[in-house]
Structure 1
């Protein structure tokens, strides 16, 4: 398909979806939010402060979002939190539908695959070379790119993926995983009891309304002495303070809970795990400055077409958008170069934007 034909097809899809989105938005977005909390969902303290107030910087869907920080335990959480209906609205067409092609191009990029390989290799010291894992469940697998790469590192292991989106079924069809589990991990866990040697959760917990319930589900799905590997954004990263609302890992409105490492370690121990290692340096992804520049520039760049906007952009706006994208590309590339240059230092002085935990089911 030519690029012109592809654009025409996308425009048709957007036009078909616009009435549905406009119907959803007719009464505003207030109904997508639960009542505001006055206490921390992690420790129940009422010592809260507003940390970030922002908008949807990725899809530019309407709405305003707040992240509060608990002064007692350091937990960060979306407040008020989206309801199930709200999550459905804001996730729609992000990873599937209109957003499927973009999502796959990002998750399947060579840099992403290289990182998946490094993560898979980091798990080898926690497995026996004489008895490799038999079954491995990747929770929040998306399109299954991590299991595909991990299968090269662990060729004798059967990989399965769990997700709520349609990407997990695409992963089976395209041979990246052996079996697709589509639905809620907490709902499916009783039927998976003791089935897996390894469970991985990479940038998944922060998307869930109750991370502790996810840890209990992982404990249930793992065999005795099974390994759980978690990677999540670090709300205590120095970049979070420096970049404010423009810091990518805040990722509103999708990130509902962001726990400091000490909180997650304690929760794992309470669920019946023993934390055997914590890693920050290897978890860092050098994109903070680059994405912050992109977000800032998006404020002055005419928007693209999307069904949640009431009408398509004018011809002048489309031309202006393309001109702005070309004019600002050098700034984005320069910021990315700076990310790469600073990355070795960032990993050592508290700027790492994520952390990993390795835990055994005891």
Structure 2
């Protein structure tokens, strides 16, 4: 038995016990008003599944007709967040996430994010919130060689980042929970594809304000729910990423809230932050939905010989098509970035 198979066998009893108690406890009561502007004018945006891990459950995203905010409704409870995050970024999923974060495409995106601050600052102390394994900080140090990088995350990855020397200091825990240790320390706080995962984005922005010294800069990058790609690909669009993404915030909403909290927005960008994976991720999501499941501890049954055989045959057969789609994503990226198909945006804001 392989090491992974042993891990799966060890995890299965815990998942079976949790699932036997039902999925209802993983969700809060549905909202009838928008969590951003409190409007009661809501509409169903989409209903989808957990494509990445194939954990059981269906997830609904609603959209506010008043302000455009898109949010998970009903939202995951604390138990639900624990259940669906487990073995995604750590545990069984850690090796996969580490490989993705260390890929050439990711390194290119990290360097672009770091360069976004060059017109505004030469920071001495930088905190990267939601740092994962710290790969962004390692690349950003090439752009800002005089900067000391610290990382914050809830998973074990932040401690791995410190051991690997990618960050000088690791904070493990929630950003809002650790706020008292961070007050007015940092020249830069960055949040790259982090804010959409949080229970209360406004509170995260408040914590960023108190963490920055006066004049410090906040760098945010998030998926754009107003992207035309979101409508084109529907529930298969990768950046929906259910159930991890709880809030998808329109650009104007985020800029307005930053101003309310005492920031001055000094730059916005809807072009360069585009991540060229829409065709590929949509195809992968579709493939996951039709192929028999692999051996995973949260699936109700272990795959039989027929299922394993179909999966073994189909994955290699699909690989050339996926590689071709990825090449097309990259080839089209210079054009896509200049259209409303761009799937992310960036904001740079200064603490007044």
How far does the alpha carbon of each residue in 1:272-305 deviate from its partner, in whole angstroms, 9 at most, with x for none? Answer: 1000000011000110011111111222211111
Q: Equivalents in 2 of 1:332, 1:61: separation in Å? A: 23
Pick one of 20, 24, 29 that aligns with 1:30.
24
Determine whether 1:138 maps to 2:128.
yes
Partner of 1:203: 193
Determine whether 1:79 maps to 2:73.
yes
Tell whether the 8 Å contact from 2:51 to 2:289 is kept in structure 1 after alignment. Answer: no
Determine whether 1:124 maps to 2:114.
no
Segments of 5+ residues of structure 2 without an aligned counterpart are none
Determine whether 1:260 maps to 2:254.
no
Tell whether the 8 Å contact from 1:293 to 1:331 is kept in structure 2 after alignment. Answer: no
Q: Higher mean Cα deviation, 178-187 or 68-77?
A: 178-187
Determine whether 1:345 maps to 2:335.
yes
Partner of 1:299: 289
Shift in Å, 1:118: 1.9
Q: Equivalents in 2 of 1:337, 1:166: separation in Å? A: 33
Q: Secondary structure at the match of 2:290?
A: coil
Determine whether 1:284 maps to 2:274.
yes
Q: Equivalents in 2 of 1:357, 1:89: separation in Å? A: 31
How far does the alpha carbon of each residue in 1:187-229 deviate from its partner, in whole angstroms, 9 at most, with x for none? Answer: 1112211000000000000000110100000000000100100
Q: Secondary structure at the match of 1:244?
A: helix
Q: Higher mean Cα deviation, 180-189 or 266-275?
A: 180-189
Q: Secondary structure at the match of 1:116?
A: helix
Q: Higher mean Cα deviation, 109-118 or 80-89?
A: 109-118
Tell whether the 8 Å contact from 2:109 to 2:273 is kept in structure 1 after alignment. Answer: no
TM-score by length of 2: 0.98
Determine whether 1:149 maps to 2:143.
no
Determine whether 1:96 maps to 2:96.
no
Q: Equivalents in 2 of 1:174, 1:340: separation in Å? A: 30
Tell whether the 8 Å contact from 1:287 to 1:339 is kept in structure 2 after alignment. Answer: yes
Partner of 1:309: 299
Determine whether 1:193 maps to 2:177.
no
Q: Equivalents in 2 of 1:137, 1:16: separation in Å? A: 36
Shift in Å, 1:235: 0.2
Tell whether the 8 Å contact from 1:134 to 1:156 is kept in structure 2 after alignment. Answer: yes
Q: Secondary structure at the match of 1:281?
A: coil
Residues 154-169 of structure 1 aligned to structure 2 (within 5 Å):
154-169=144-159
TM-score by length of 1: 0.95
Determine whether 1:11 maps to 2:27.
no
Tell whether the 8 Å contact from 1:197 to 1:223 is kept in structure 2 after alignment. Answer: yes
Q: Equivalents in 2 of 1:231, 1:280: separation in Å? A: 10
Determine whether 1:273 maps to 2:263.
yes
Partner of 2:222: 232
Tell whether the 8 Å contact from 1:207 to 1:256 is kept in structure 2 after alignment. Answer: yes
Tell whether the 8 Å contact from 1:18 to 1:310 is kept in structure 2 after alignment. Answer: no
Residues 317-328 of structure 1 aligned to structure 2 (within 5 Å):
317-328=307-318
Q: Secondary structure at the match of 1:69?
A: strand
Q: Secondary structure at the match of 1:187?
A: coil
Q: Secondary structure at the match of 2:188?
A: strand
Determine whether 1:109 maps to 2:99.
no
Kindly report structure 1 stretches of 4+ aligned residues shifted beyond 4 Å: none
Q: Secondary structure at the match of 1:355?
A: strand
Q: Equivalents in 1 of 2:210, 2:236: separation in Å? A: 37
Shift in Å, 1:348: 1.4
